[in-house]
């Protein structure tokens, strides 16, 4: 049996893991999806949403059950940044890290470093972000989320 803690990416919540949880549990694993601060149903004010707050939330989830075995942390998209930080903060609770279409930073590498790399050219999430306010908050318009994250673009018809 493996203990899984599933961490969502930006613009999502624990709800995005709902289709995965039953299969993991049916296979005999312990699986939990968490909401990061300010996401899903979590009420954390935006001014308090930081990478450190993400890592702290993950470490809290990992240590909630004192006798639980170390977990396989699974991070999707920006969740990769969060699980990397959490593993550095509370390594005794982490068996391994798994990155699902996720950012996998090297030591000291920021999200801004990663999105500035040539491989990120043409990324539709970055191209569609709307950043406003003080502190700045990034949002993703609904249609951009459908296209860039959930791959719900209409199929292109072929010219004959």
Per-residue pLDDT of the chain (160 residues; tens, 9 = 90+): 999 999 999 889 999 999 999 999 999 999 999 999 999 999 999 889 999 999 999 999 999 987 889 999 999 999 999 999 999 999 999 999 999 988 888 877 888 888 888 887 887 777 888 888 887 778 888 887 777 776 655 555 445 4
Is the peptide bond prior to 93 cis by the omega test (within 30 degrees of 0)?
Answer: no
Cβ atoms of 16 and 32 closer than 8 Å: no
Its pTM stands at 0.83
Do 46 and 90 belong together in one domain? yes
Do 74 and 129 belong together in one domain? no
Cβ atoms of 64 and 93 closer than 8 Å: no
Do 30 and 74 belong together in one domain? yes
Give residue 127's domain range. 122-152
Other CB atoms within 10 Å distance of the CB of residue 54: 24
């Amino acid at each position: 049996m493996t203990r899984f803690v599933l961490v969502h990416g930006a613009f999502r919540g624990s709800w995005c893991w709902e289709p995965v949880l039953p299969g993991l549990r049916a296979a005999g694993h312990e699986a939990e999806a968490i909401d990061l601060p300010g996401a899903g149903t979590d009420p954390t004010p935006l001014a308090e949403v930081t990478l450190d707050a993400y890592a702290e939330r993950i470490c809290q989830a990992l240590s909630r059950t004192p006798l639980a075995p170390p977990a396989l942390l699974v991070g999707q998209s920006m969740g990769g940044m969060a699980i990397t930080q959490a593993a550095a903060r509370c390594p005794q609770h982490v068996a391994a890290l798994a990155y699902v279409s996720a950012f996998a930073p090297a030591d000291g590498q920021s999200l801004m470093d990663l999105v500035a790399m040539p491989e990120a050219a043409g990324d539709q999430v970055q191209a569609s972000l709307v950043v406003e306010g003080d502190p700045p908050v990034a949002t993703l318009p609904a249609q951009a989320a459908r296209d860039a994250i959930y791959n719900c673009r209409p199929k292109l018809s072929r010219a004959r």
